């Protein structure tokens, strides 16, 4: 995913590289100037926001089980040709500007990493076995200017230790296997795969055994996370309904592509039962994560933008009620995740980037 996933962005950054700049007019000269802010007045649920990374594209940051470290993906700096996975401590709540520890191989493209129980190993997705080079990124102009998301069939799921030693390959079926996240109970991994011919959710034990299909309806089901008690899943889905939508989806998927511009959020039990759609907002709703109470979902959306040209974090009850805006950056906020103790939240944002394209990681205390 989370892709985001989602945004993108690579598979997981979705549309981090929006070119919109947050500007205002100088009162004296009338010239446009850049306004940099870390915290916006309306962000009442966030306190003591700290920036962790400075430059490049940094996203999909997820906490270790003990809440002392994060694992994340980065590109466009540190001489990276495309996204790779890194880990670093968050004890100081600020990045020291050194290059963090790389977890992935440095080959191919990676996405979607997560700590395994014990915090000594990390699961992540990579294309490096298919090709050591970065896979070709699809061009919008080749698809009528539409935003297209690649679903590389060389993605598989791997485990490495926190020093970057590669330990195990968890998937080896043909097609896309990616977007793994781990249950708070430490027993299961949920991931997205095309092994059925469609993009569906699956679970497996943390050693890769006992794979079970969770979703079965046509459409892209991805970016799944477990509830705090490990009994439910929240995920994004683009489920085509009309004949034209179905044809477009199938035609793109046959080319290893999806168009994630219309996604809603669904909740189900970990076996796929009791499936419920909890948003019907239109546009792109993605990167969902459970509130520590298990009663709310925080997610990224552009439904509130007239031109759908920016993403903010919103929260909604698991029954689809009480929608509330959480962040107010003018360009991009996504990939929220609460710390294991529920006291902090980490997310990716284009805020405070001097009007450029950098996407950085931010940590804040959470205020109910």
Q: What is the mean pLDDT of residues 155-173?
A: 98
Q: What is the pLDDT of residue 15?
A: 32
Q: What is the pLDDT of residue 22?
A: 43
Check whether 11 has a pLDDT greater than 70: no
Q: Distance between CA atoms of 172 and 342, rounded to whole angstroms?
A: 35
pLDDT digits (tens, 9 = 90+) for 103-140: 999 999 999 999 999 999 999 999 999 999 999 999 88
Higher-scoring residue by pLDDT: 10, 70 = 70
Q: How many CA atoms within 13 Å lie on the side-chain side of 132?
A: 2
Q: What is the pLDDT of residue 246?
A: 97
Question: In a 3-state reduction of DSSP, which class is residue 293?
Answer: coil
Check whether 312 has a pLDDT greater than 70: yes
Q: What is the mean pLDDT of residues 254-277?
A: 96
Q: What is the pLDDT of residue 95?
A: 64
Check whether 14 has a pLDDT greater than 80: no
Q: What is the pLDDT of residue 309?
A: 83
Check whether 18 has a pLDDT greater than 50: no
Q: What is the pLDDT of residue 13?
A: 36
pLDDT digits (tens, 9 = 90+) for 212-235: 999 999 999 999 999 999 999 999
Checking 299-308 for CB contacts under 8 A at 24+ apart, the result is 299/265, 299/336, 300/6, 300/7, 300/14, 300/333, 300/334, 300/335, 300/336, 308/261, 308/283, 308/284
pLDDT digits (tens, 9 = 90+) for 31-44: 334 568 999 999 99
Question: Contact 122/87 with Cβ under 8 angstroms?
Answer: yes
In the chain the domains, ranked by start, together with CATH numbers, are 23-366 (2.120.10.30)
Check whether 333 has a pLDDT greater than 60: yes
For the chain, give the mean pLDDT.
90
Reported confidence tier of residue 28, pLDDT bands at 50, 70, 90? very low
Q: Which residues of 197-208 are buried (b: 16+ CB within 10 A; e: fewer)?
A: ebbbbbbbebeb
Question: Contact 136/144 with Cβ under 8 angstroms?
Answer: no
Question: In a 3-state reduction of DSSP, which class is residue 238?
Answer: strand
Reported confidence tier of residue 93, pLDDT bands at 50, 70, 90? low
Q: What is the DSSP string of 307-360?
A: T---BEEEEEETTS---EE----SSBEEEEEE-TTSSEEEEEE-TTSTTSS-BE
Check whether 337 has a pLDDT greater than 50: yes
Q: What is the mean pLDDT of residues 309-322?
A: 96
Q: What is the mean pLDDT of residues 49-71?
A: 96
Check whether 9 has a pLDDT greater than 60: no
Neighbours of 48 (CB within 10 A): 11
Q: What is the pLDDT of residue 32?
A: 38
């Amino acid at each position: 995913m989370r892709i985001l996933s989602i945004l993108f962005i690579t598979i997981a950054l979705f549309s981090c590289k929006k070119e919109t700049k947050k500007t205002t007019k100088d009162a004296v000269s009338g010239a446009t100037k850049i306004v940099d802010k870390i915290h916006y007045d309306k962000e009442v649920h966030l306190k003591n926001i700290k920036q962790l990374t400075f430059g490049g594209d940094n996203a999909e940051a997820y906490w270790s089980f003990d809440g002392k470290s994060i694992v994340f993906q980065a590109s466009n700096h540190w001489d990276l040709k495309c996204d790779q996975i890194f880990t670093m401590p968050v004890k100081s709540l600020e990045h020291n500007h050194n290059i963090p520890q790389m977890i992935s191989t440095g080959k191919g493209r990676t996405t979607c990493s997560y700590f395994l129980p014990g915090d000594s190993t990390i699961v992540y997705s990579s294309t490096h076995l298919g090709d050591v080079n970065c896979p070709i990124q699809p061009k919008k102009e080749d698809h009528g200017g539409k935003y297209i998301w690649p679903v590389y069939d060389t993605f598989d799921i791997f485990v490495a230790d926190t020093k970057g030693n590669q330990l195990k390959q968890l998937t080896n079926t043909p097609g896309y296997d990616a977007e793994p996240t781990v249950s708070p109970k430490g027993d299961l991994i949920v991931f997205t795969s095309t092994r059925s011919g469609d993009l569906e959710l699956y679970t497996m034990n943390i050693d890769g055994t006992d794979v079970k299909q969770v979703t079965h309806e046509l459409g892209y089901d991805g970016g799944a996370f477990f509830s705090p008690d490990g009994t439910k899943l929240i995920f994004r889905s683009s489920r085509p309904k009309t004949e034209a939508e179905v044809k477009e989806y199938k035609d793109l998927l046959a080319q290893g592509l999806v168009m994630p511009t219309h996604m809603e959020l669904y909740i189900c039990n970990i076996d796929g039962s009791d499936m419920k759609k909890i948003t019907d907002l239109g546009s792109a709703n993605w990167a969902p994560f459970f509130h520590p109470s298990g009663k709310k979902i925080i997610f990224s959306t552009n439904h509130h933008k007239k031109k759908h040209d920016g993403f903010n974090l919103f929260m909604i009850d698991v029954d689809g009620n009480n929608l509330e805006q959480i962040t107010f950056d003018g360009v991009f906020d996504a990939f929220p995740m609460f710390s294991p103790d529920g006291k902090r939240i980490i997310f990716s944002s284009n805020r405070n980037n001097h009007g450029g394209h950098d996407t950085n990681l931010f940590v804040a205390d959470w205020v109910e």
